[in-house]
Chain A
Amino acid sequence: MRLGLCLSLVFCLLVIQASALSLGGSYENDLLTLLQKDGTVGLGDLNRLRLKFDHDFCDRLTVHLEPRYYGLLKSREIAIAGATDLDQLVWDRLYAKYRAENWSLTAGKQRIAWGTGSIWNPVDIFNPLVLSFAVRDDDKTNVEALRWELPLGEAGGIDAFVVTGQPWAETGRGIRVRGNTGMFDLALSYVDQGTLGRQVGFDLAGDIIKDVGVRGELAIKAGPDHNGYVMQAVAGGDYTLENGIGLNAEYYFNGLGSRNSGSYNWGTAESVGMDYLYLSGNKIIDEITTVTVSLLTNLDDQSYLIYPQYSRNVGQNLDLYVEGMWLGGPDGSEFVPPSSADPLGFGGSKMALARLVYSF
């Protein structure tokens, strides 16, 4: 019997015990304007309702349900990061978690987030592009899997998963062992995607000197589409000045990409450029207001994405975000791609967005 069916039965049981459910979620409204390179203006109004149900059947068994409804009013076709399924209901997370004395098992649609990079996570096969400045955590890709976690000591553990619902030869399965050395969190991982390839990963996060944080990831990949082995690596650091301005930088080497824009494989976002740099600065104006400016650039073709953001907690559970996005660079570059690689004409455009999020 499929896992989803089992979980549906569990959901029915939950409804029966509805009084014991804990319910939370958020409602979000995004009003956006898109000015495309050809002068076309697009308007959109995106509504997202996310519900989160949690129920503890007993001390050891918890069920988590997270449906999300998207509704988009739009003047024309608009691509929105994180919104791939519009005007429909999506089950983002739907899992049961069993906690034994020394381990736990999670079955169902869940989030498996590995790695330490803030923009790129090559060790995470489910979300290799994090783009944390633009894509909300709740919009990350989830996966139907069985996941086993074994905590070791205070700050270590083993995390293993098997993706369900696919033929064994093609299914993803992986294991990650992590620990702490005092200064650093370290992790070593191995993922086997059957006929799709294999990957060995390493990631770390910590401080080298006072107030300078560092993070890094290294993934060695082998697969039918690669000529032998390819490497992807991330190195990043951050620092906060005495005046409170936080600085963040991350370099990404993408062995799957190319340094020549004429050789880009436009089919996947992971196979475009080879060298990237991310820079950002943020200032907490007061306890409820933050301003952030981010720059992501493809060093190989000099294209860039500038992303300013103003955020304010305007009520106890109400957050306002005002954001802009400016894509630029030479014609044919990653952020101003040729029309054959950009059917929606998103490249080279400018966007302004006002977002209200109410949590309950």
Chain B
Amino acid sequence: MKRDWLALILLGGLGMGAWGITGEQIIRQVDSNMTFTTARSESRMVIHVDQEVREKTMRSYSRGQEASYSEFLTPARDQGVKYLKIKDNMWMYLPSVDKIIKISGAMLRQSMMGSDFSYEDALESTRLLEKYAATLAGEETLGGRVCYIIDLTAKVKEVTYFKRRVWIDKERFIPLREELFALSGKKLKEMTLGEVKRFGRRYYPTYLTMRNLLRANSRTELFTTRIEFDIAVDPKVFTQGNLTK
């Protein structure tokens, strides 16, 4: 699932800046660095609301950007809840009623498992490349890393985030920060990535935090505690049949 959030920044566009590289070229470099055929990961989600903290753990599988499967392992109240994403479709399996529910319409904008992420955040894919124009807005240093700043502006109305601003590590081509805006210009969410680790020839952020600015004093951290890339994953993992297994 994390792979899909990162896919938010894999957006093409034009606009040559004074840096001799276009927004589209930067995005392609990020894409090249972050793309994998399959992945298996274990993650810990920590939700902060004022002084309250909730933790959830999950196991996920991904196949490129088109399919992913996640199963919540803890806490007890969420154990056995599963998600399946195939292209632009997403389903949730609720063990208490033994039913698969398609996540669509209003649910897409709602909080996913009580976190600052919406279902829509998890569902977005590179199809959004067709929906945004990218321009290279400048450079800035974040945590000692020099970053390109890319502005992404929606070309169509049917998007939740009309504008995005993304900071991309200039050397490693890893996204380190993203801000998401509504059509009105109001900033809706902030995402920060970090703990970049090397996996073979690939750099990958293993820490992510999201703040939904419409809600006071809340943020969600996502720690990738284990991840393997380009491994053999049974295609049946990415089927509805696996949800009810």
Q: Which residues of A contact B (CB under 8 A)?
A: 24, 26, 99, 104, 110-113, 116, 136-138, 140, 149, 151, 153-157, 180, 182, 185, 205-207, 209-214, 237-240, 242-244, 246-248, 284-288, 313, 316-317, 319, 357, 359-360
Contacts and interface: CB of A to CB of B under 8 A. Distances in A.
Contacts of B79: 24
A156 B89 CA distance: 13
Given A185-B102, A316-B55, A151 B241 contact: yes
A137 B96 contact: yes
Highest count of chain A CB atoms <10 Å: which of B97, B116, B158, B217: B97
A213 B105 contact: yes
B99 A317 contact: no
Contact of B94 (A110, A137, A155, A205): A137
Given A284-B111, A359-B77, A157 B106 contact: no
Nearest to B50: A286
Contacts of B89: 155, 180, 182
Given A153-B239, A205-B102, A317-B77, A240 B114 contact: no
Q: Give me the 4 closest cross-chain CB pairs, A-B, nearest first.
A: A213-B105, A151-B241, A238-B106, A210-B158
Nearest to B91: A155
Contacts of B106: 211, 213, 238-240, 246-248
B54 A286 contact: no
Contacts of A238: 105-107
A319 B77 contact: yes
A241 B55 CA distance: 28
Given A238-B107, A242-B182, A313 B114 contact: yes
Contacts of A182: 87-89
Interface residues of B, number: 53
B76 to A, nearest CB: 4
Given A209-B158, A210-B158, A288 B49 contact: yes
Highest count of chain A CB atoms <10 Å: which of B111, B158, B216: B111
B214 A243 contact: yes
B206 interface: no
Contacts of B115: 287
B109 A138 contact: no
A110 B160 CA distance: 40
Given A24-B79, A360-B76, A211 B109 contact: yes
22 contacts: A24-B76, A24-B79, A26-B76, A104-B241, A104-B245, A113-B97, A113-B98, A138-B97, A140-B97, A209-B158, A211-B109, A214-B104, A238-B105, A239-B106, A240-B110, A242-B182, A244-B110, A287-B54, A287-B115, A287-B215, A317-B75, A360-B76
B171 interface: no
Interface string B185-214: 000000000000000000000000000101
B7 interface: no
A287 B241 contact: no
Interface string B150-164: 000000011110000
Given A210-B157, A214-B105, A317-B76, 11 more contacts: A151-B241, A210-B158, A211-B106, A211-B109, A238-B105, A286-B50, A287-B114, A287-B115, A316-B55, A316-B75, A359-B75
Contacts of A247: 106
Contacts of A210: 157-159
Contact of B102 (A99, A113, A206, A285): A206
A120 to B, nearest CB: 15
Contacts of B77: 26, 313, 317, 319, 357, 359
Contact of A155 (B75, B218, B240, B245): B240
B238 interface: yes
B218 A286 contact: yes
A111 B110 CA distance: 27
Interface string B100-135: 011011111111001110000000000000000000
Nearest to B80: A24
A359 B76 contact: yes
Contacts of A206: 102, 104
Given A182-B88, A287-B115, A154 B245 contact: no
B97 A207 contact: no
Contacts of A317: 75-77
A155 B239 contact: yes
Contacts of A113: 97-99
A160 to B, nearest CB: 14
A156 B102 CA distance: 12
A22 B54 CA distance: 23
